[in-house]
């Protein structure tokens, strides 16, 4: 659905591919410790923040924020499809969907 809406709004595909993996930068939270890493990762990989961003973008008519929100939702959907879920503090590989790896 994200790709459909992104295409429907005719946003830049270059921006899409550049930003698609940017939420994974949140993994750097694991450099502090597992608990902090899980919290930071989960903030960037839960749907609530990008949905709020999309709603805000629609309210204020800001296409850049809308594009970023849609890309963010696409990233989360891609991760869920691949079996990557929200992280538990015990280990990066422990997710709410399965144990990865």
37-81: per-residue pLDDT in tens?
999 999 999 999 999 999 999 999 999 999 999 999 999 999 999
> Within the chain, where are the H helices?
2-8, 13-19, 34-44, 48-60, 63-81
Calpha distance 31→83 (Å, rounded) = 23
The 3-state DSSP class for residue 29 equals: helix
Q: State the pLDDT confidence band at 100, using cuts at 50, 70 and 90.
A: confident
Per-residue pLDDT tens over the stretch 25-37 = 999 999 999 999 9
Calpha distance 93→101 (Å, rounded) = 7
Paired strand residues for 94: 99
Q: Output the pLDDT for position 101.
A: 67
Residue 22: phi and psi, rounded to 5, are -60, -30
Q: Where are the domains of the chain?
A: 2-20+27-92
């Amino acid at each position: 659905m994200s790709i459909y809406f992104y295409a429907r709004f005719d946003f830049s595909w270059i921006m899409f591919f550049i930003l698609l993996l940017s939420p994974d930068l949140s993994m750097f939270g694991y450099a502090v410790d597992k608990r902090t890493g899980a919290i930071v990762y989960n903030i960037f990989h839960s749907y609530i923040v990008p949905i709020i961003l999309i709603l805000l973008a629609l309210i204020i008519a800001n296409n850049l924020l809308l594009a970023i929100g849609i890309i963010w939702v696409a990233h989360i959907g891609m991760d869920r499809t691949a079996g990557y879920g929200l992280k538990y503090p015990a280990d990066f590989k422990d997710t709410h969907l399965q144990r990865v790896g």
